[in-house]
Amino acid sequence: MIITDEAILRIPCVNAEPHEIVSIIEQLDKELALSPIKGIGLAAPQINIHKNIAIVRINDTLKINLVNCRIANKYDLEIFDGEGCLSFPGEYVKTMRYQEIHVVDNAVYPYSFIATGLFAVSIQHEVDHLSGRLLVDFSLSSPQKSTDKVRPNDLCPCNSGKKYKRCCKLNINSK
């Protein structure tokens, strides 16, 4: 069953051990398939397993298992309208997400790849879950983030705690 308790979802995850990976991915696939709401990704903490594992299933050919991964580089910060979460059914918000990311997956056999568009947004969403960060943390609809325009001295929408001009704006300008 997919967890909706915000306190449980905010617990940061720890790296998965090799012997845990297959079982957790099978559980994630099962829960995603059983969800009454069609979703494209699920992270282990959403089924009350606090391990760094998530899955993204955009369609039959675009599937990825994320195990002990991190986002190494991010490019092209833009507003994404309509991001939802299976842990917050029926809520769809505007967020600031990167349109291209470089993912380093540290599973049993480490590899890296570039993700773009909806695939990149989905991976960012699931990786956020692994750190205890939730969709509500990224919503531009909240009172402190009520505008689509981010000014240089505003706090960065990525929740780094830095000013936008010293954080994500640097990635945008360094293309």
- The predicted structure's pLDDT at residue 83: 92
Amino acid at 10: R
Confidence band for 175, pLDDT divided at 50, 70 and 90 = very low
Mean pLDDT of the chain: 86
What is the spatial distance between Cα 121 and Cα 100, in angstroms, rounded to a whole number?
8
CA quadruple 156, 161, 163, 168: dihedral sign: negative
Amino acid at 86: L
Catalytic residue, chosen from 6, 91, 100, 126, is 126
What is the spatial distance between Cα 45 and Cα 9, in angstroms, rounded to a whole number?
6
Q: How large is the average pLDDT for residues 2-14?
A: 94
Q: HSE (CB half, 13 Å, CA atoms) of 165?
A: 4
Q: How large is the average pLDDT for residues 65-77?
A: 93
CB 26 within 8 A of CB 42: no
Whole-number percent of the chain with pLDDT over 70: 86
Is 103 a member of any domain? yes
Residue 49 lies in domain: 6-173
Strand partners, 71: 103
126 catalytic, yes or no? Answer: yes
Higher-confidence position of 28 and 166: 28
Largest CA distance in the chain: 47
Higher-confidence position of 147 and 131: 131
Instruction: State pLDDT tens for residues 94-105.
Output: 999 999 999 998
Whichever domain contains 57, its CATH number is 3.90.45.10
Q: How many domains does the chain have?
A: 1
- Please write down the HEC assignment for all residues of 55-102: EEECCCCCEEEEECCEEEEEEEEEEEEEEECCCCCCCEEEEEEEEEEE
Is 1 a member of any domain? no
Is 75 a member of any domain? yes
